[in-house]
Amino acid sequence: MSDTRHQSGDAPTPVGHEPSEIRLKLIIIFAVGIVTIGAVVTILMNGFMSHYRSRKDALSISKPVLFRDEEGQFPEPKLQRTSTDDMVQLRLEEREALRSYGWVDPKAGIVRIPIERALEIIAKRGLPTSDVKAKTSTESSKSP
């Protein structure tokens, strides 16, 4: 048997390993290039970070006391801390308003009365009905 294989119409191809060897010089140049690029990027990033750090310190000196954050975190938003307690307090205030007298609009003469008193008044006088409309329509038809 021979060390070559023939394909239809092609020149014989040798069987075995590749004839060229590894180019060690190119691999070393590539590795040195990658390390150099990494070192340059690291030095540049350190320079940028020190610049931004000094800029941040300069800006924090000029900020008002309320906006300074000594702990290095963002200030906490001023939101409801206990919404349940706030809701309970609101319900108590509403209940107190329903049980007491007070002015709604003093200029217009509108007052607030306790709900029990309002129910007593409605029980005595009754609910308003549409009889007023019926009376005015019958009176207007009688007058001509």
Q: What is the pLDDT along the chain (144 residues), one digit of tens a residue?
A: 455 555 555 666 667 766 667 788 999 999 999 999 999 999 999 999 999 888 887 776 666 666 666 666 665 677 777 888 889 999 999 999 889 999 889 999 999 999 899 999 999 988 888 765 555 555 555 554
Q: Flag whether 135 is in a domain.
A: no
Q: Flag whether 84 is in a domain.
A: no
Q: Flag whether 119 is in a domain.
A: yes
**Tell me, what's the pLDDT at 142?**
57
- Count up the domains in the chain and report the number: 2
Determine the structural domain holding residue 109 and report its residue range.
97-127
What is the number of other CB atoms lying within 10 angstroms of the CB of residue 98?
A: 13
**Tell me, what's the pLDDT at 135?**
59
Are the C-beta atoms of 13 and 5 separated by less than 8 Å?
A: yes
Q: Flag whether 79 is in a domain.
A: no
Q: Flag whether 64 is in a domain.
A: yes
Quickly tell me which residue has 């990494």 as its tokens. Answer: 38
Q: Flag whether 77 is in a domain.
A: no
Q: Measure the N-to-C terminal CA separation of the chain; round to a whole number of Å.
A: 134
